[in-house]
Structure 1
Amino acid sequence: MNAPGPDLAALREAVTEFARFAGPERSWQRLLRETAPALDLSVPGHPRALLAWLNSWGCRLRNPRPGEPDVFGESVTAWWSRWAAHLPGPDDSLARLTDAGIDRLGLCYADLAAAPATAGARPRSLGSTAASKALHALRPRAVMPWDAAIAERLHGARTPAAYAAHLRLGREWALGVLAESGLGEEALAAELGRPGRPLTKMLDDYCYLTFSVL
């Protein structure tokens, strides 16, 4: 879907409004501290930190009960061993993603969304929202997250193809605001009063306030 993206004024308004939600920022900073220098799902403790962060962002993935296997931890660690080499680099940006790179992210997303996440009588997979947020946590400069409302309103689906379309749309928006501002990503974040915030997340702030909060 071709949806009009934010200009600088709309993006500034969105990130200023989203800054009033203190909880998401606190939980993000906690994840960064607990997984420094970078989130790596092969490192003991990092999958558990990721699970706590996903739940703080509304994913509602049940923690294992005493005696249950750590389905989430085992599953995302196995996923990481298959896909880590196919992700963008830690310093790659959304604006610079190639079509081939976005297609690979669609495959990464599909496998992660289908990965088992909980045990018990009603087991569940990660699903589309948690998978997109996990990918954002792993590569925050390059990958936008989404939620069900954003996916459905912008793309009419939460399939891998829709996810790739969302990244292409985000790339278009990123290029637009960077061209309008004449700034690099770090300078743009500082100019908008959100120093250090990835452009992917500022665009997601806009999506959340425009398409999720009705």
Structure 2
Amino acid sequence: MTADHTTPDLESLRKAVAAFGGGPSLLPVLDLTAAGDRRRLLTLLNAWGCRIPYPRGGEPDPFDAAVGAWAGRGRSGGLPTAPLAELTDAELEPLGGCFAELAAIEVGRPGGARKLGPTAASKALHMLRPHTLMPWDAAIAERLHGGRGPVEYVAHQRLGRDWARGLLAMTGLDEQALTLTLGGPGRTLAKVLDDYCYVRFTRLERL
């Protein structure tokens, strides 16, 4: 049974942002066709708890090769750039295939099987489009959508889009002013909503 999809209220969002210190969530602009930016992405993902192996001296680098190939197929450049609240259904639908392809890439050491997986893939896509796409983890995906596949990933972005639209309409503010009101200057609305999801559905804390 999935959780209630009601738009979170402002006080719940403030509490969620405060749980993370309310600081900015600004991310560097990444071009995954560049090896240096692929390494930056790997470092950022591991800082976010993804535990993707780094290559040892002389070993091939499966993460670099697979992410580079994914980007080389135009996947990263083809992601939508509009803010979360402005995403259209036409922009949402292709995200499922893009997410599934990224989640399935092999990132393990030679002789070991390790795919990037749905959590790390969602975080990578958020890092590429921090104003546009929400990340998730297993608990958020299962509790809100009943699964972690491409259909559920698109549903999560649609839910975030609808929440964002509702909040902007209710307050009459733009995204920057809204996140400032919520105690998160420099934070994107997509990340504020992820903060809420993490506290509410991963930590299972009342807000």
Q: TM-score, normalised by structure 1?
A: 0.89
> Are 2:32 and 2:76, in contact at CA under 8 Å, matched by a contact in 1?
no
Aligned to 1:168: 158
Give 1:106-145 correspondences, 5 Å limit.
Answer: 106-145=96-135
Aligned to 1:52: 43
Matched residue type, 1:67: G
Aligned residues: 201
Aligned to 2:18: 16
Matched residue type, 1:160: P
Aligned to 2:138: 148
How far off its partner does 1:105 sit? 1.2
2:62 to 66, 71, 74: 71
Matched residue type, 2:89: D
How far off its partner does 1:110 sit? 0.7
- Structure 2 CA distance for aligned equivalents of residues 156 and 65 of structure 1: 38
Give 1:7-46 correspondences, 5 Å limit.
Answer: 7-19=9-21, 32=28, 38-46=29-37
Give the secondary-structure state (helix, strand or coil) at the position aligned to 1:74: helix
- Structure 1 CA distance for aligned equivalents of residues 38 and 108 of structure 2: 13
> Are 2:93 and 2:154, in contact at CA under 8 Å, matched by a contact in 1?
yes
Runs of at least 5 residues in structure 2 that lack an aligned partner in the other structure:
none
Matched residue type, 1:73: D
- Structure 1 CA distance for aligned equivalents of residues 77 and 126 of structure 2: 16
> Are 1:72 and 1:116, in contact at CA under 8 Å, matched by a contact in 2?
yes
> Are 2:55 and 2:61, in contact at CA under 8 Å, matched by a contact in 1?
yes
How far off its partner does 1:84 sit? 2.7
- Structure 2 CA distance for aligned equivalents of residues 152 and 84 of structure 1: 26
- Structure 1 CA distance for aligned equivalents of residues 83 and 16 of structure 2: 21
How far off its partner does 1:58 sit? 1.0
Q: Deviations over 1:142-189 (max 9, x none)?
A: 000000110011111101000001111111111111112110001111
RMSD over aligned Cα atoms: 1.6
Moved more, 120-129 or 163-172: 120-129
Q: Deviations over 1:22-56 (max 9, x none)?
A: 8xx6xx66x52xxxxx1110123111111111111
- Structure 2 CA distance for aligned equivalents of residues 102 and 183 of structure 1: 24
How far off its partner does 1:118 sit? 1.9
Runs of at least 5 residues in structure 1 that lack an aligned partner in the other structure:
33-37
Matched residue type, 2:157: L
Higher helix share: 1
Give the secondary-structure state (helix, strand or coil) at the position aligned to 1:101: helix
Give the secondary-structure state (helix, strand or coil) at the position aligned to 1:45: helix
1:206 to 196, 201, 207: 196
Q: TM-score, normalised by structure 2?
A: 0.91
> Are 1:118 and 1:124, in contact at CA under 8 Å, matched by a contact in 2?
yes
> Are 1:132 and 1:145, in contact at CA under 8 Å, matched by a contact in 2?
yes
Aligned to 1:87: 79
Which structure 1 residue ranges, 4+ long, deviate > 3 Å from structure 2?
Answer: none
